[in-house]
Amino acid sequence: MYVRIVEITGPSRLQLDIFLDYLKVTHFPKNISQGQLRANVFRINEQSAFVIAKFNDKKSADKIRMMNNPEINELKANLKIRSFEGKLQYLVE
């Protein structure tokens, strides 16, 4: 399993809300249909959130990143986005 963690910071609560709604309604359903396994979104404060996206492997994660690059680049003009990713070492539940 492969995981991508994305930190999103907006200039205002409203702009972050708009972006998170876009992810929920448009972005994640499309990604799930293309092989993304799961997306969890955590609100940290008024202007920041984290997304944890799970994929079968790096190849799947890279395919989805390339598929979404143009629209995400347009949307993130007003947002600060940092991304970390790697192979899942282990999961304890």
State which CATH number among 3.40.50.300, 3.20.20.70, 3.40.190.10, 3.30.70.100 fits the domain covering 2-87: 3.30.70.100
What pTM value is reported for the model?
0.88
Indicate the domain borders of the chain: 2-87
How does pLDDT run across 13-70, given as a tens digit for each residue? 999 999 999 999 999 999 999 999 999 999 999 999 999 999 999 999 999 988 877 7
- Could you tell me which of 33, 36, 14 has the C-alpha nearest to residue 6? 36
Per-residue confidence (pLDDT) for residue 75, from 0 to 100: 75
φ, ψ for residue 77 (rounded to 5)?
Answer: -55, -35
Per-residue b/e over 8-28, b at no fewer than 16 CB within 10 Å? bebeeeeebeebbeebeeebb
Cα(74)–Cα(54) distance, rounded to whole angstroms? 23
More confident residue, 9 or 77: 9
